[in-house]
Structure 1
Amino acid sequence: MISLFACFPESIASFSPEFTVNTWNLRSLSQVPCSLGHGFRFPRQLRRLRTILTCSDSSSQSWNVPVLSSSEVIDRLKQARKGQQQFLAMYSSVVDGITTDPAAMVLPLDDHMVHRGHGVFDTAMIINGYLYELDQHLDRILRSASMAKIPLPFDRETIKRILIQTVSVSGCRDGSLRYWLSAGPGDFLLSPSQCLKPTLYAIVIKTNLAINPTGVKAEANGAYAGIWVSEDGFIAEGPNMNVAFVVNGGKELVMPRFDNVLSGCTAKRTLTLVEQLLSKGMLKSVKVMDVTVEDGKKADEMMLIGSGVLIRPVIQWDEEFIGDGKEGPIAKALLDLLLEDMRSGPPSVRVLIPY
């Protein structure tokens, strides 16, 4: 049987002193005049005081849940987020402002992105004080929001200005900017029809851009990432990045078609940069085509491509090593080209942050 207990910091009228410890039960409380109706209610003089409710089962096990004031909630959030130095700034359209306090970087629980997954997100890298391919990523998230039937809380230029200002306030010169468009808060129903208005959230994260030259493994269990495969048996993509292969003796770069997979901004930029390897003779051709799992595992090189990983070599897929099980020359050359583009590329791919 579940019983309600309550304890107070001092004696309360109508209760004997021995009841100021965690030993009140429903029988004790029932001796106090209180309103009748559906269920038990504390008398008015008790409801005005801070309480701690304790639940207990038949085995006398109990737990205490404090009822906190808003200032106590903030203090506890600060303690819980202590040491989270990588979160530098967050914008929320719910409050229409930017905070640099990790404890205040919160979302409404009734936001449909939280409990229904009705939201879209994207990420742009911050390199040496520049946002890399912000316009390209922004165009993509706006297309995604349209397909997800999420109205925009602001026009495109206002969203861009907010994102740039959030990075500026953070002071971050190397990291990442992640941002979301959501159906917004309102209720816990399936339909977003009662959502107050769509929301924009953005957070600046200080990240380590150090590259792992040893590569990663791709398999279903216990590895870095899994690989999606279409119903036709063709390789699609990774969990949140594209894939590419080097075949034909290390002379041909192949990417799966973008028809039904992530239209990767980094992958598309890589296809532009790879022209430099063609001109140097490191590669003979580049193709976007269907790739089977069997052909992928037999490739000379395999790599993951995306904003979060940049270009990361895959050295093993399931039980099979890719090539010689080490980072290949094409993956390394493409990574160098991408890093150089991020540091000194044209204005079309870099937005200067006004700190």
Structure 2
Amino acid sequence: MAKDPVFYIDGEFVLSQEAKISVFDHGLLYGDGIFEGIRIYSGVVFKLDAHLDRLYRSARAMWLTIPLEKAEMKAAVLETLRRNGYQDSYIRLLVTRGKGDLGVNPKKCPKASVVIINVQVEPMHGHGKADGITTIISSIRRQAPDSTSHEIKSLNYLNSVLATIEANRQGVDDAIILDQRGFVAEATGTTLVAVWDGALYAPPLTASILDSITRRFVLEMAEDLGYPVHERDMTPFQLLMAEEVFLCGTMGEITPVRSINDQEIGSKTPGPITEQLIAEYQNRRKDPKNGTPIS
């Protein structure tokens, strides 16, 4: 029988079966909170410092005071991992506005709540690594950058949930979402990169997308391998005409896209550049210089 993992909740380490938060927590009531998803490979926490930096930037942007200093948060993550002893696993780190009343006013929440979940999970779209995944271009649009900002990794994922429902109803693996201007933004839980003529093209951060740590790592890795990298607006037509398309994110790593709206992408999935990047990512993700050892 699999052991019951240990979670961290507001300074205490508890078994997952005993983990509790208040029903008055504004993270539950209103999605008022932030999170990070972090992978652990062979005992190395991949890009932990970068994830913590983004967490604290998100908190600052939404006037959320995290009750731990960054060094204390890092220590709590590592101690949670040590207690579970997994060499390969996933961390979901959440900070909610905390317990309040049934109103939306954050003033009624005196202290934020910190939750660290550590489990072993299967990769997102793991079945698509070899042959690619099927997608649609969703009718749901990403919110405009002057509304709910996707630069904040918020608990409110309704936009992605609706696009995922649309993908489910059409029998495909994922949905690609456009921004308010009609340019390509990202997928429901990952960012997106296209390949033309031996160069990589990624939607810019101004296209209502998350500043993905995996995206940044993959683009830098591609430059190291000698590929030109461009961040620019991309139309749906340009995306459909790409030679290769792949998604990248913490859970899915690099996942090739086989089709969009039933139209095949390129002549082979994964394409040669995507295939090389997947292999290089596998090599680099366990390197201690790209993360923080648990012990």
| TM-score normalised per structure 1 | 0.70
* 1:139 and 2:80 aligned: no
Cα distance in 2 for partners of 1:87, 1:319 equals 42
Cα distance in 2 for partners of 1:86, 1:257 equals 43
- Cα 1:87–1:340 change in 2 (3 A) is farther
User: In the alignment, which residue of structure 2 is the partner of 1:268?
Assistant: 216
Q: Identify the match of residue 238 of structure 1 among 159, 182, 187.
A: 187
Q: Identify the match of residue 24 of structure 2 among 97, 105, 110.
A: 110
The one-letter amino acid paired with 1:274 is A
**Structure 1: gaps (5+ residues):** 1-82
The one-letter amino acid paired with 1:224 is D
Q: Identify the match of residue 172 of structure 2 among 215, 223, 235.
A: 223
**Contact 2:4–2:17 under 8 Å retained in 1:** no
Cα distance in 2 for partners of 1:255, 1:235 equals 9
Percent of paired sites with the same residue: 24
Deviation (angstroms), 1:208: 3.3
* 1:340 and 2:287 aligned: no
The one-letter amino acid paired with 1:267 is R
* 1:181 and 2:91 aligned: no
Q: Deviations over 1:3-34 (max 9, x none)?
A: xxxxxxxxxxxxxxxxxxxxxxxxxxxxxxxx
* 1:303 and 2:246 aligned: yes
Deviation (angstroms), 1:140: 0.5
User: In the alignment, which residue of structure 1 is the partner of 2:265?
Assistant: 322
- Cα 1:136–1:87 change in 2 (3 A) is farther
User: In the alignment, which residue of structure 1 is the partner of 2:145?
Assistant: none
The one-letter amino acid paired with 1:254 is Y
**Contact 2:214–2:250 under 8 Å retained in 1:** yes
Cα distance in 2 for partners of 1:199, 1:132 equals 24
Q: Secondary structure at the match of 2:131?
A: coil
**Structure 2: gaps (5+ residues):** 139-166
* 1:154 and 2:68 aligned: yes
Q: Identify the match of residue 257 of structure 1 among 194, 204, 208.
A: 204
Cα distance in 1 for partners of 2:78, 2:23 equals 27
Higher relative contact order (CA 8 A, sep 6+): 2
Cα distance in 2 for partners of 1:201, 1:102 equals 11
Deviation (angstroms), 1:277: 2.5
**Contact 1:121–1:181 under 8 Å retained in 2:** yes
**Contact 2:44–2:288 under 8 Å retained in 1:** no
Cα distance in 2 for partners of 1:214, 1:345 equals 30
**Which structure 1 residue ranges, 4+ long, deviate > 4 Å from structure 2?**
none
Q: Secondary structure at the match of 1:246?
A: strand
Cα distance in 1 for partners of 2:122, 2:182 equals 36
Deviation (angstroms), 1:169: 0.7
**Contact 2:134–2:258 under 8 Å retained in 1:** yes
Deviation (angstroms), 1:87: 6.3
Deviation (angstroms), 1:88: 2.2
The one-letter amino acid paired with 1:351 is T
| TM-score normalised per structure 2 | 0.83
Q: Deviations over 1:249-291 (max 9, x none)?
A: xx1111111123100101101111112321xxxx4x2211111
Superposition map of 1:18-97 within 5 A: 85=2, 88-93=5-10, 96-97=11-12
Q: What value does the CA root-mean-square deviation take over the aligned residues?
A: 1.7
